[in-house]
Chains A and B, each alone.
Chain A
C-alpha cells in the first residue's frame, strides 16, 4: 500500500526586498517532485542545503501549502484534509529548537500528548514507555534548558512518537549530536521501521542513509535527480574505482588536470583535518593512480588508497552533475 504519494509537487517562495518596494523576488524551492513511499518503508531524501528537502517535508506534514501539484499521505490530501494527515503523522527535526526550555522534559511530553489527542488514561504509560525507549528515564523532571543536545534530540523523538504515528518524518534528526547519540538514534529509527512505522528521513550523513534506508531519492535544485535503493545508486558509479590521495597543499589546482586524464570520470577535493583529499573516480578497468600522482608532483602527499565507490561517491556525482 502506498502511504505517501507525491505528484508534480512545486513550491515557490515570494519575498519582498522591503515593505516599500513592489518588486517581489520568487524562489522556486521545489520544482515538480514525484515519488511514492510504501507502507513500512524507510525512504531517504538526500540533497545539499537548499535543495528542497525541508520544504518538501513541510508540505507533506501540512505546514506549507504547495504552489501546485498534489501530495497525499495515507490517502489524505495534505491541503484539503490537513487535520486527518496531522492525526496520523509525526515530525521530528534536528537541532536545539522545538522544545520548551523552561519546562521539564516530562511537561513537554504532557503538553504535546494533549495536543496530539493521546487519551488521558494512556498518557502516563505512553510517556513512561517513550522515556525508557529514548533513555531519558530519571531525567524527565529536569528542565530542558539543562539538557545536552543529544538529550534534547532524544526528547524530540519521544515527542514525535507520542501519538504512535503511522508515518514519521525525520528532518536531519542526527544533526549536531555525538557519534554515540547518533548511533542510538539510528537504532531507534531501525526499530521503528521493524515495528512497521513508515519513515521519511532527510540527512546529510551518507553512511546513515546507506545503513537505514530501503530507498533513497536524491534531490538537488528542487528536483529529484535519482531514485533507487542505496545499491542502485552506488551501482551508478559502481563500475569503476575511487582513488583517494591525501595532499598537504593546494589540491584544488590539480583538479582540472586530473579530470583531463584518460580514464577519469570526475575528481573533487574534500577537507579532512590538516590535509585535503583528492577523490578521483575512474572508469572500469582504468589504472589512473600513477597519472594522478604525476599531476601532483610538486605537492607533498600522504596516504594513497584505492577503494570501492560508496553512496557518498554516488551522491557527489549525482549532485555535482546537477549543479555543474
Chain B
C-alpha cells in the first residue's frame, strides 16, 4: 500500500466503525443516558455552591468523563468483540500494520464520546440553568477535539493490550473510574495525595480537561493544551512501536482467537 493510501485507509476504517457504533441501538441508548447521569450528579453536588463558575467547571468535567468512559469501556470491549466475532484474525491477516486497524476503532469511540460533551452542556443549560458562556470560543474549539483525540490515543494504547491478552478488555472497565478521579474531572487534583499527582501528569485527560476549562472560564489554555497534545502523540508513538511486538506475542501465544 502506498503512503498516500494510508490516510484513506484510516478514514474508511474510522467511518465504518463509527457507522457500526451509530447503528447499535443498545450502545446508542447507553451513550445517550449515561452522560446525563454523570452530569446530573455533578450538577446536584456542585449546585449547592450556588456559584455559576463552579457549575461550569463541574459541567465541563462531567462532559469529559463521558468521552473517557466511551473510550475506556466501549473501546476495549470493541476489540474484544472483534475477537469474538472472528474479525480480529481477519484484520491481523491483512497486510497493514495492526496500529492502522486499531486507531480508527478508538478514535470512532472517542467521537461517540464527543456527543456526551454536547449533551452534558445542553442538559446543564436546559435543566439546571447553567450559563455556558465560553470566554475563548476559538481556544475552546481547539481544546475539545485535541482532548478527544488524546483520549482516543490513550484508548488506542489500551486496545493494543487487548489484542495480546484475551481478558484485557476488563482493563477498560477497571480504569474508567480511577481516571475520572485522578484526572480531576470532578475534583481538583490538588486535593489528592501527593503521590497521585505524577499519575495525573502522565494522563492526557488531566491536561485536556484543564485546557477546556481554561478556555471556557477565561484562563490560559495553551500550556495545558500542548501537554495534552504531547501526551496524545506520545501514546500514539508508544502504541505504534509496541503494536507489532505485541502482535507477534499474540501470534506466539495464540490469543487472537477465543479458541
Residues of A that sit less than 8 Å from B by CB: 13-14, 58, 61-65, 83, 86-87, 91, 93, 95, 97-103, 107, 110-112, 114-117, 119-120, 143, 159
A193–B237 alpha-carbon span in the complex (Å)? 43
A61–B23 alpha-carbon span in the complex (Å)? 32
Known: A64-B251, A102-B20, A107-B19. A93 touches B86 (CB 8 A): yes
Check if B85 is an interface residue, CB within 8 A of chain A. yes
Q: Which residue of B lies closest to A120 (CB)?
A: B8
A93 proximity list for chain B (CB < 8 A): 86
Chain B 61-78 interface residues, beta-carbon cutoff 8 Å to A:
none
**A–B pairs, 24, beta carbons within 8 Å:** A14-B253, A62-B251, A63-B89, A63-B92, A65-B248, A65-B252, A86-B94, A87-B95, A91-B93, A98-B85, A98-B86, A98-B89, A100-B20, A100-B87, A102-B24, A110-B12, A110-B16, A111-B12, A114-B12, A115-B94, A115-B101, A116-B94, A120-B8, A143-B23
A120 proximity list for chain B (CB < 8 A): 5, 8
Instruction: Say yes or no: A97 contacts B13, CB within 8 Å.
Output: no
A122–B94 alpha-carbon span in the complex (Å)? 18
Q: Interface digits, B73-117 against A, CB 8 Å rule (1 contact, 0 not)?
A: 000000000000111011111111000010000000000000000
Q: Which residue of B lies closest to A104 (CB)?
A: B19
A209–B20 alpha-carbon span in the complex (Å)? 38
Instruction: Say yes or no: A86 contacts B16, CB within 8 Å.
Output: no
Q: Which residue of A lies closest to B9 (CB)?
A: A114
A95 proximity list for chain B (CB < 8 A): 86
B13 proximity list for chain A (CB < 8 A): 111, 114-115
Instruction: Say yes or no: B20 contacts A103, CB within 8 Å.
Output: yes
Instruction: Say yes or no: B90 contacts A103, CB within 8 Å.
Output: no
Instruction: Say yes or no: A117 contacts B5, CB within 8 Å.
Output: yes
A63 proximity list for chain B (CB < 8 A): 89, 92-93, 251, 256-257
A98 proximity list for chain B (CB < 8 A): 85-87, 89-90
B23 proximity list for chain A (CB < 8 A): 102, 143
Instruction: Say yes or no: B12 contacts A112, CB within 8 Å.
Output: no
Check if B135 is an interface residue, CB within 8 A of chain A. no
Instruction: Say yes or no: B20 contacts A116, CB within 8 Å.
Output: no
Check if B254 is an interface residue, CB within 8 A of chain A. yes
Q: Which residue of A lies closest to B1 (CB)?
A: A117
Q: Which residue of B lies closest to A89 (CB)?
A: B93
Instruction: Say yes or no: A115 contacts B91, CB within 8 Å.
Output: yes
B247 to chain A, nearest CB (A): 9
A278 to chain B, nearest CB (A): 35
Q: Residues of B within 8 Å of A, CB-based: how many?
A: 30
B19 proximity list for chain A (CB < 8 A): 102-103, 107
Known: A97-B86, A98-B90, A111-B12. A64 touches B254 (CB 8 A): yes
B56 to chain A, nearest CB (A): 37
B1 to chain A, nearest CB (A): 4
B91 proximity list for chain A (CB < 8 A): 115
A159–B257 alpha-carbon span in the complex (Å)? 19
Instruction: Say yes or no: B93 contacts A62, CB within 8 Å.
Output: yes
Instruction: Say yes or no: A101 contacts B85, CB within 8 Å.
Output: yes
B8 proximity list for chain A (CB < 8 A): 114, 120
A192 to chain B, nearest CB (A): 18
A183–B199 alpha-carbon span in the complex (Å)? 61
Q: Interface digits, B1-23 against A, CB 8 Å rule (1 contact, 0 not)?
A: 10001001100110010011001
B22 to chain A, nearest CB (A): 9
Instruction: Say yes or no: B96 contacts A115, CB within 8 Å.
Output: yes
A87–B254 alpha-carbon span in the complex (Å)? 21
Q: Interface digits, B186-202 against A, CB 8 Å rule (1 contact, 0 not)?
A: 00000000000000000
A202 to chain B, nearest CB (A): 15
A58 proximity list for chain B (CB < 8 A): 89
A55 to chain B, nearest CB (A): 9
Q: Interface digits, B31-65 against A, CB 8 Å rule (1 contact, 0 not)?
A: 00000000000000000000000000000000000
A102 proximity list for chain B (CB < 8 A): 19-20, 23-24
Instruction: Say yes or no: A65 contacts B251, CB within 8 Å.
Output: yes
A175–B257 alpha-carbon span in the complex (Å)? 19
A83–B257 alpha-carbon span in the complex (Å)? 19
Q: Which residue of A lies closest to B249 (CB)?
A: A65
A104 to chain B, nearest CB (A): 9
B92 proximity list for chain A (CB < 8 A): 62-63
A225–B41 alpha-carbon span in the complex (Å)? 67
Instruction: Say yes or no: B96 contacts A117, CB within 8 Å.
Output: yes
Contact of B16 among A13, A87, A91, A103 (CB under 8 A): A103
Of B24, B89, B90, which is in contact with the most chain A CB atoms at under 10 Å from its CB?
Answer: B90
A95-B86, A143-B23 known, 6 other contacts, Cβ within 8 Å: A91-B90, A93-B86, A98-B89, A100-B85, A110-B12, A115-B101
